[in-house]
Amino acid sequence: MIRSWLREPLVHFLLAGAAIYVLVGWFGNPYGPTDRTIVLGADRKAEIAAGFERMIGRAPTDSELDGLIERWLREEILYREGLRLGLDADDPVVRRRLATKMDELAAASAETADVSDATLEEWLKSHPERFIDGGTVSLDQVWYASEETARAALASGRVTGNPISLPRSVEAMPRAEMREVFGLQFAQELAKLAPKPEWQGPIPSGFGWHLVHLRARDLGSVPPLAEIRQQVEADWRSETIAERRERAYRLLRDAYVVKKR
Amino acid sequence: MRKALLVAFACTTLAGCGSGIGPRASEAQKGDGENTIELAEFPDRPYWGDTHLHTDISVDAFGFGVRLGPEDALKFARGEKVVATTGLDAQLDRPLDFLVISDHSDAMGATRRLHDAPRLLIGDPTLRRWHDMMRESPEQSQRAVAELITAAANDQIPEAMRDPVQQAKATRDLWTNHVALLDRYNEPGKFTAFAGFEWSLMPDGNNLHRVMMFRDGSAKTGQVVPFPGLDMKVEQLWDYMDAYEKNTGGHVLAIPHNSNLSNGLMFEMTAPGGVPMTAEFARRRAGHEPVVEATQIKGDSETHPLLSPNDEFAGFGVAGWELGNLPLTRKSTPDMLPGSYVRSALLRGLTLEQRLGVNPYAFGLIGSTDSHTALATGDEDNFFGKHTGVEPRPGRALEPQNLGTREGRYGWHYLAGGYAAAWARGNTRAEIFDAFKRRETYATTGPRMVLRLFAGFDFTASDWDGDWVRTGYTRGVPMGGDLVDTGKAPVFLISALKDPDGANLDRMQVVKGWIDANGEAQEKVYDVAWSDMDGKRAPVAGRIPAVGDTVDRANASYTNTIGSAQLRATWTDPDYRAGQRAFYYVRLIEIPTPRWVLFDAKRFGLKLPKEVIEASVTQERAYSSPVWLRPAAKAGTGKT
């Protein structure tokens, strides 16, 4: 119970907010749009200088730095006054930027967290279909341009086929590759057959008609975590991020009443 | 201390502090893939890929609006579903086997940085204006990039954005993270992620772009940074490549593309600037640039109707693009055409070889997308556009689509993009790169037909009955190979299968180019196999009747009731002359099918002008790499 409570993005928001409050208090740098005191520390100056260097490729001279700081102050003061006047409202750029920042906040812990094997094992167990190794097929096949010829060949027992540049026989071919080489239709039709010692068919493909001797089929299985840890981790991460964003949003959304008129 | 603490805190609450996010790559993933998987004895299947894809690191792609990065691009190419920038779900019907992310080296990441930079720190007024435009709206963002491309074409990029030293510094972090990411998505045997970039040399707006493709993993590619192209010379690019190979022991190749937008400069008879071409220059060109991208979204470069007047299939994907260079700042004139198209370049190569002893234009062929959406889509029914501004939406087919200017090129001129096929023994960096290097590749305009070609002197039709692939490799050469004249006409074993999920085949052709006894370059297209060869399509006065047309324009559909699932030919050159210098490549043509424009019309309920509907049914195709026939060394290089 407590664990799931701890996972709630809203709790993260609140904790993050509290932490910011504590940190700000600790550093004695009350910084808010409604405050009319601006503390210009060495850190800020260094940041401004570094920003200049990033863009221009060299450190600013003293007079350039003074100018930059003046510009920064000007922007900061206008920014705060702008907020005071409510100019941030109805500005699409500001809206989008802040919304993105909120999304990032919700996703952050999932993006950087080290994830334990136990979590991934659980993930693997609960989403096996995503990691199932596609399985393999072993078969012989022959091709005919028309269905009638294929049927006649099967009936006569002389299964030779017409020449075509497709593999006559494959051994433990991954099913994804099978689909690539023989096409979607063949793969779908083949799925309906069971392995048998006799020739079966004909089944259609994008090429025409095939008689098939389906020798073996392995439906595939979920590999152990160690083999696909990376894939599982990437999947867990992106899903978790999306889910946290959505949950954080839902929590906020639920607190709103939207009147559609 | 305080600052460090704050930064650490910010990093735990806000995303985007470095990209050390996610799993680590294994040793096998990090390298070139040698000795990681079991290989077939001979190349056993074509591996499909896109070598030309842009993401949000590209200066123009970002400005055009894309917000998908390399990781999205890799996921998408591997078959996963992603959400495109404009909000649509995007997925490939069939995954690709390999991908080269080729973001522009010039100002790599710069628009993203410019967008993210604090406004007050942007000193240059032009950059500040672009910054504002990028933030204002998607339309303004696209306008800013159009200005940027024009500025690049006119050599007017603001200094703050173009200085190579500074740029290299800014690119270093980005590239280090990028090549590490590629390793993580590179899985020998399953999917190959190549490091690469696009080198965008563009004198006066004439497109001399190359895509760079590295064979190696991050341990080697991380030792360099992408090399800027503006204001450079192609020899400097080759120097960069040589230095990379020498210093790291790795390998890299360059792929010229959009020669159709070069105004004749891509394949000149001289070295750049009109100075005579030396054997050394020719050797360097051929050595560094083994394949050319012949088809992509911005048109097809195989040949032009004015260059190949007797070729009824010439002119695919030429409309709109033939007008001029990339930003349309200079119009094209007919004298420029031979330097702009691949077939004429192959011919020029023969002439130059005769003169210099080296063929600078002995290249193989591939196709790719050049998509700027991070989505490597090549199929007509899944076209996500050249860039984010033309992701699927009702207006895109009919709007003017120029970069920079707005005349003559429209949305419907875009092709849906092509793919590269590489015959390799397995899916690893080393195997696929080496296939490119030996030119055992072919281009398609999107469909995945399987095209195989062997050339030799003693093949016969009965070779098909046995293990003809082994026969082909042991008694001949595959596509991209060289034959030395033996006094006998060359014989070709050519096999083609349709795309298993696509349209039937109309015909298979051999395109031959040669130097005749008078030293003149000649070309001829031979139909060597077609559907219903013995039936209703028997040649009439030497010409093969058209295959027909089943396309339902209103529904963007067709049926495979015409054409053939496969074609085969054992073809001997009927016009062979002893000592002749020649090349042969195969062009494989599908039955007519609807283009993306008709799929758009159906989806959005568009009413298209007649002219556009007529241009929206085409016969998609594949181009093999050529095989060259050279006079025996002892016969000398002069006339025979």
Cβ of B15 and A68 within 8 Å?
A: no
> What confidence score (pLDDT) does residue B375 get?
98
> What confidence score (pLDDT) does residue A7 get?
58
What are residue B365's DSSP bridge partners?
B292
> What confidence score (pLDDT) does residue B21 get?
34
DSSP codes joined into one string, B255-324: EEB-GGGSTT-TT-SSSGGGPPPPHHHHHHHHHH--EEEEEETTEE-S--TTT-TT-TTTTTT-TTGGGB
Distance from CA of B617 to the nearest CA of A (A): 21
Cβ of A206 and B11 within 8 Å?
A: no
Cβ of B13 and A108 within 8 Å?
A: yes
CB of A183 within 8 Å of any CB in chain B? yes
Cβ of B120 and A72 within 8 Å?
A: yes
Which of A111, A166, A208 minimises the CB distance to B15? A111
Chain A residues 140-179 with a CB less than 8 Å from chain B: 145, 163-166, 176-177, 179
Task: Give me the total of CB pairs closer than 8 Å, taking one residue from chain A and one from chain B.
Answer: 115
CB of B17 within 8 Å of any CB in chain A? yes
> What confidence score (pLDDT) does residue B139 get?
76
Angle value at C-alpha B539, between B533 and B542, nearest 5 degrees: 140
Cβ of B13 and A16 within 8 Å?
A: yes
- Closest chain A CA to residue B46: A181
CB of A56 within 8 Å of any CB in chain B? yes
> What confidence score (pLDDT) does residue A183 get?
94
CB of A21 within 8 Å of any CB in chain B? no
The label of the residue with tokens 């994907």 reads B317
What is the spatial distance between Cα A132 and Cα A224, in angstroms, rounded to a whole number? Answer: 10
What are the residue boundaries of the structural domains of chain B, listed by start? 44-108+164-441, 449-630
Cβ of B495 and A165 within 8 Å?
A: yes
Residue with the bigger pLDDT between B24 and A237: it is: A237
CB B235 within 8 A of CB B283: no
Cβ of A237 and B500 within 8 Å?
A: no
In chain B, the percentage of residues whose pLDDT exceeds 90 is 74
Which strands make up the sheet holding B291-296, listed edge to edge? B299-300, B291-296, B364-367
What is the spatial distance between Cα B445 and Cα B296, in angstroms, rounded to a whole number? Answer: 7
Residue with the bigger pLDDT between B165 and B231: it is: B231
Determine the average pLDDT of the residues in B113-123: 79
Query: Which of B1-15, B269-283, B418-432 is the least confident region?
Result: B1-15
Determine the average pLDDT of the residues in B595-608: 96
Distance from CA of A182 to the nearest CA of B (A): 6
> What confidence score (pLDDT) does residue B404 get?
46
Q: Does the ipTM exceed 0.90? A: no
SS3 B597: helix
> What confidence score (pLDDT) does residue B258 get?
96
What are the residue boundaries of the structural domains of chain A, listed by start? 1-30, 32-89, 90-124+227-253, 134-218
Q: What is the pTM of this model?
A: 0.81
DSSP assignment letter at B23 = P
What is the spatial distance between Cα B427 and Cα B96, in angstroms, rounded to a whole number? Answer: 11
Q: What are phi and psi of B601, to 5 degrees?
A: -60, -40
Query: Which of A236-250, B179-193, B301-315 is the least confident region?
Result: A236-250
Q: Taking 60 as the threshold, does the pLDDT of residue A22 lie above it?
A: no
CB of B488 within 8 Å of any CB in chain A? no
**Could you read off the pLDDT of B194-220 as tens digits, one per residue?**
999 999 998 888 899 999 999 999 999
Determine the average pLDDT of the residues in B491-496: 98
Residue with the bigger pLDDT between A42 and B636: it is: A42
Residue with the bigger pLDDT between A104 and A17: it is: A104
> What confidence score (pLDDT) does residue B22 get?
43
Q: Looking at this protein, which amino acid is placed at residue B175?
A: W
Cβ of B165 and A57 within 8 Å?
A: yes
What is the spatial distance between Cα B37 and Cα B425, in angstroms, rounded to a whole number? Answer: 10
SS3 B422: strand
What is the spatial distance between Cα B580 and Cα B514, in angstroms, rounded to a whole number? Answer: 7
> What confidence score (pLDDT) does residue A4 get?
54
Which of B94, B122, B498 minimises the CB distance to A207? B498
> What confidence score (pLDDT) does residue A148 get?
95
Q: Tell me, letter by letter, the H, E, C secondary structure of A202-237.
A: EEECCCCEEEEEEEEEECCCCCCHHHHHHHHHHHHH
Cβ of B23 and A229 within 8 Å?
A: yes
**Could you read off the pLDDT of A118-127 as tens digits, one per residue?**
989 998 888 8
**Could you read off the pLDDT of B168-199 as tens digits, one per residue?**
677 888 999 999 999 999 999 999 999 999 99
What are residue B441's DSSP bridge partners?
B422
CB of A48 within 8 Å of any CB in chain B? yes
Distance from CA of B358 to the nearest CA of A (A): 36
Q: Tell me, letter by letter, the H, E, C secondary structure of B101-118.
A: ECCECCCCCHHHHHHHCC
Determine the average pLDDT of the residues in A76-95: 79
Peptide bond into A202 cis (omega under 30): yes
CATH class, range A134-218 = alpha beta
Cβ of B163 and A237 within 8 Å?
A: no
Cβ of B118 and A56 within 8 Å?
A: no
Which residues of chain B does A206 touch, with a Cβ-Cβ cutoff of 8 Å?
Answer: 498-502, 560, 565
User: 10 Å Cβ neighbour count for A232?
Assistant: 24
10 Å CB burial of residue B482 (0-12, 13-18, 19+) is middle
- Quickly state the pLDDT bin for B542 (edges 50, 70, 90): confident
CB A19 within 8 A of CB B9: yes
What is the spatial distance between Cα A28 and Cα B185, in angstroms, rounded to a whole number? Answer: 46
Which residues of chain A does B16 touch, with a Cβ-Cβ cutoff of 8 Å?
Answer: 104
Q: Taking 60 as the threshold, does the pLDDT of residue A103 lie above it?
A: yes
CB B381 within 8 A of CB B596: yes
The label of the residue with tokens 């002892």 reads B634
Task: Round the CA-based radius of gyration of chain A to a whole number and report it.
Answer: 32
CB of A187 within 8 Å of any CB in chain B? no
- Quickly state the pLDDT bin for B120 (edges 50, 70, 90): confident
**Could you read off the pLDDT of B400-412 as tens digits, one per residue?**
876 545 578 899 9
Which residues of chain B does A109 touch, with a Cβ-Cβ cutoff of 8 Å?
Answer: 12
User: 10 Å Cβ neighbour count for A151?
Assistant: 15
Q: Identify the CA nearest to B43 among candidates B583, B459, B421.
A: B421
Which CA distances in Å does B498 have to A110, B1, B382, B444? Answer: 46, 66, 19, 12
> What confidence score (pLDDT) does residue B8 get?
33
**Could you read off the pLDDT of B331-371 as tens digits, one per residue?**
999 999 999 999 999 999 999 999 999 999 999 999 999 99
